[in-house]
Amino acid sequence: MNTQATQSPQFYLTAPAQCPYLEAERERKVFTHLVGPRAAEMNDLLTQGGFRRSQNIAYRPACENCRACVSVRIVAGEFDLTRSFRRTLSHNRDLVGTERPAIATDEQYDLFRTYLDSRHQRGGMADMTVDDYAVMVEETHVETRVIEYRVASGRLDEEGELIAVALSDVMMDGLSMVYSFFNPAHERRSLGSFMILDHVMRARNLGLPYVYLGYWVKGSKKMDYKKRFQPQEHLTGHGWERALADED
């Protein structure tokens, strides 16, 4: 009996909606479900093909008139640690990053709420409850980890202050940063950049070649920070190609 139809993923297309990055554009997404015994394999293949994961959904832009979203991955083994990045590492040398299972906690949610209320009051996640957060973290059929970053307490029996969290997938060829957040009060630490640097080092230690950052959006200033992490590759119509830091 031919079972190919039941094993192949089914893809769907969303209705047009306002683009969250470019005011003049309307976005559409193509998506599929990541479930069952092949979920991890499919997540690897789809991420390499420009998809991102949210819970048990893999999606990518499918906009009719815009191609501004470009998938980005850092080449971890050749990463260039600039003077600015060395300063960021120095400012955070007192942090301890601990990898944990994908299980949500109230402490994480409190930090998540602080981050949203400061940085994304009008975003699509602004109204997320503690239950919504738990679903975001725990609803996964792939190898997912939560990395908690705490200020070292100096005592073995006491955990330090939680100031940043990253939700990441472990794939065959790299680490995919699904979502990260931090305490905005620690602006000097550049915690967003620090977590990316930490993932580059973790990928190297695991012998994995890439760190997937999601999309760089041409024309969106809040996405320009991703171009700082060099060398990196962008997914084009010809596959993954090396990109330049000043590409626009």
Residue 132: both structure tokens together: 């919504």
Instruction: Give the C-alpha separation, 176 to 51, whole Å.
Output: 11
DSSP letter assigned to residue 50: T
Closest Cα to residue 207, out of 96, 116, 76, 87? 76
Residue 248 CA to residue 241 CA, distance in Å, equals 15
Instruction: Decide if 248 is inside a domain.
Output: no
Q: How many CA within 13 A on the CB side of residue 57?
A: 12
pTM above 0.85, yes or no: yes
Q: Does one domain contain both 94 and 33?
A: no
Alpha helices in 18-146 (DSSP H): 39-48, 83-91, 106-119, 130-138
Structure-block tokens of residue 107 = 């402490």
Distance (Å) of CA 218 to CA 67, 201, 241: 9, 27, 16
Give residue for tokens 């005592």: 155
In this prediction, residue 244 carries a pLDDT of 75
Per-residue tens of pLDDT for the chain, all 248 residues: 344 444 678 999 999 999 888 989 999 999 999 998 999 999 999 999 999 999 999 999 999 889 999 999 999 999 989 999 999 999 999 999 999 999 999 999 999 999 998 876 566 677 889 999 999 999 999 999 999 999 987 676 678 999 999 999 999 999 999 999 999 999 999 999 999 999 999 999 999 999 999 999 988 888 899 999 999 999 999 999 998 765 44
Q: Please tell me whether residues 165 and 143 are part of one structural domain.
A: yes
Q: Contact, 222 vs 69, CB < 8 A?
A: no
161 shares a domain with 58: no
Q: Total structural domains in the chain?
A: 2
Q: What is the pLDDT of residue 47?
A: 96
Identify whether residues 82 and 117 lie together within a single domain: yes
Per-residue pLDDT, 79: 95
Residue 33 exposed, middle or buried by CB count within 10 Å (0-12, 13-18, 19+): middle
* Structural domain contains residue 13: yes
Within a domain: 3: no
**Pairing mode of beta strands 210-217, 174-182:** parallel
Place of tokens 């191609």: 67
Range of the domain at 149: 72-243
Q: What is the CATH number of the domain that holds 105?
A: 3.40.630.30
- Do 82 and 125 have their domain in common? yes
Residue 81 in any domain: the answer is yes
Residues 157 and 100 reside in one and the same domain: yes
Residue 122 is predicted with a pLDDT of: 61
Do 133 and 211 have their domain in common?
A: yes
The string of DSSP codes covering 73-96 is EEEGGG----HHHHHHHHHTTTEE
Q: Which of 67, 82, 107 is the last residue of a domain?
A: 67
Would you state the pLDDT for residue 219? 85
- Give yes or no: residues 61 and 77 share one domain: no
Q: How confident is the model at residue 124, as a pLDDT?
A: 65
Token couple for 225: 């920070």
**Residues 77 and 189 occupy one common structural domain:** yes
How, if at all, do strands 29-33 and 12-13 pair? Answer: antiparallel
- The two tokens of residue 102 are 């994908």
Same domain, 77 and 174: yes
Q: Does 153 reside within a domain? A: yes
Q: Are residues 48 and 131 in the same domain?
A: no
- pLDDT, residue 190, reads 96
Q: Are 200 and 74 in contact (CB under 8 A)?
A: yes
pLDDT of residue 125: 75
List C-alpha distances in Å: 154 to 26, 54, 150. 50, 36, 11
User: Does residue 127 lie within any of the structural domains?
Assistant: yes
Q: Is residue 60 part of a domain?
A: yes
**Are 57 and 89 found together in one domain?**
no
At 123 the pLDDT is: 60
